[in-house]
Chains A and B, each alone.
Chain A
Amino acid sequence: MSDTDATNAETVGSIPDDAVATSSGSDGSSSRLDLGSGGPDVAEQYPLQVEGLRKTFGGITAVDDASFRVEQGSLTGLIGPNGAGKSTTFNLITGMLQPDSGTVTFDGEDITGRKPHAIANKGLVRTFQIARELQDMTVLENLMLAPKGQQGETLWRSVTPGFRDDVIEQEEELLERVWNVLEFFDIDHIAEEYAGNLSGGQRKLLEMARALLTDPDMLLLDEPFAGVNPSLEKRLLEHIHELREQGYTFLLVEHDMDLIMENCERVIVLHQGRVLTEGSPEEIQANEEVIEAYLGGNV
Chain B
Amino acid sequence: MSVREDLADRVPGGDAGFIVAVLLGVYAAYVLAGVALGYSIRGQLNSVAVLTFYIGVFAMLALALNLHWGYTGLFNIGIVGFMAVGIYVMALVSKPPAGTGAAQIGGLGLPLVVGIVAGMAAAALLGALVALPALRLRADYLAIVTIAMSEIVRFTFLSGTLEEFQLFGQQVGFGGGSGVILNFTDPMEAFFRFFGLWDSYLGIVTAFEVIIPNNPKPVVDGLVYGVVLLGFVAVLYWLLKRTGESPFGRVLKAIREDEDVANSLGKDTNRFKIKAFMLGCALMGLVGILWLMTSGSVTPNFFRPRVTFFVWIALIIGGSGSNTGSVLGGAVFAALLFQGPRYVKNLVDTVIPNADAPSSFGPAVAPLFSNFDPSPLFFYTIDSIRQLQLVFMGLVLIWLMHNRPEGMLGHRKETAAGIPLTSSRAKGTAHADGGERGGTDE
B253 surroundings in chain A (CB, below 8 A): 134, 136-137, 141
A158 within 8 A of B: yes
Closest beta carbon of chain B to A284's beta carbon, Å: 29
* B260 contact from A96, A144, A196, Cβ within 8 A: A96
CA of A115 to CA of B260, assembled, Å: 11
Beyond A96-B264, A125-B266, A155-B248, whether A179 also contacts B425 by CB under 8 A is yes
A214 surroundings in chain B (CB, below 8 A): 265-266
* B442 contact from A126, A140, A192, Cβ within 8 A: A192
A138 surroundings in chain B (CB, below 8 A): 413, 415, 421
- Closest residue of chain A to B278 (Cβ to Cβ) is A155
For chain A, what secondary structure do more than half of its interface residues adopt (helix, strand, loop), or is it mixed? helix
A294 within 8 A of B: no
* A193 contact from B415, B417, B431, B441, Cβ within 8 A: B441
- The answer to whether A192 and B441 have CB atoms under 8 Å apart is yes
Beyond A134-B258, A192-B421, A194-B1, whether A155 also contacts B243 by CB under 8 A is yes
A115 surroundings in chain B (CB, below 8 A): 263, 268
| B-binding segment of A14-22, A69-77, A165-173, A235-243 | A165-173
A148 within 8 A of B: yes
A152 surroundings in chain B (CB, below 8 A): 246-248, 418
B273 within 8 A of A: no
A32 surroundings in chain B (CB, below 8 A): none
Interface 0/1 of B410-442, CB less than 8 Å to A: 000101111101111100010101000100111
- Closest residue of chain B to A160 (Cβ to Cβ) is B242
B424 surroundings in chain A (CB, below 8 A): 175-176, 179
| B135-188 with Cβ < 8 A to chain A | none
Beyond A140-B421, A153-B247, whether A116 also contacts B279 by CB under 8 A is no
B248 surroundings in chain A (CB, below 8 A): 152-155, 158
Closest beta carbon of chain A to B280's beta carbon, Å: 12
Beyond A136-B257, A167-B418, whether A159 also contacts B242 by CB under 8 A is yes
A12 surroundings in chain B (CB, below 8 A): none
| B261-320 with Cβ < 8 A to chain A | 261-269, 272, 275, 279
CA of A126 to CA of B417, assembled, Å: 24
- The answer to whether B263 and A175 have CB atoms under 8 Å apart is no
- The answer to whether B266 and A196 have CB atoms under 8 Å apart is no
- The answer to whether B258 and A117 have CB atoms under 8 Å apart is no
* A189 contact from B260, B262, B440, Cβ within 8 A: B440
CA of A159 to CA of B269, assembled, Å: 19
- The answer to whether B263 and A134 have CB atoms under 8 Å apart is no
Closest beta carbon of chain A to B260's beta carbon, Å: 7
Interface 0/1 of A140-151, CB less than 8 Å to B: 110011101011
- Closest residue of chain A to B431 (Cβ to Cβ) is A183
- The answer to whether B266 and A167 have CB atoms under 8 Å apart is no
A86 surroundings in chain B (CB, below 8 A): none
B249 within 8 A of A: yes
Closest beta carbon of chain A to B433's beta carbon, Å: 8
Beyond A134-B257, A183-B431, whether A141 also contacts B421 by CB under 8 A is yes
- The answer to whether A175 and B421 have CB atoms under 8 Å apart is yes
B32 within 8 A of A: no
Closest beta carbon of chain A to B161's beta carbon, Å: 37
Beyond A132-B258, A145-B262, A155-B243, whether A168 also contacts B418 by CB under 8 A is yes
Closest beta carbon of chain B to A135's beta carbon, Å: 6
B202 within 8 A of A: no
Q: Which 6 A-B pairs have the closest CB atoms?
A: A152-B247, A158-B246, A120-B266, A134-B257, A140-B421, A171-B418
**19 A-B contact pairs sorted by A residue (CB < 8 Å):** A117-B267, A136-B257, A138-B415, A144-B250, A145-B267, A150-B247, A152-B247, A153-B267, A158-B242, A167-B418, A168-B418, A168-B419, A171-B417, A171-B419, A188-B437, A190-B441, A191-B421, A191-B423, A210-B265
* Chain B contacts to A: CB under 8 angstroms: 1, 239, 242-243, 246-251, 253-254, 256-258, 260-269, 272, 275, 279, 321, 413, 415-419, 421-425, 429, 431, 433, 437, 440-442
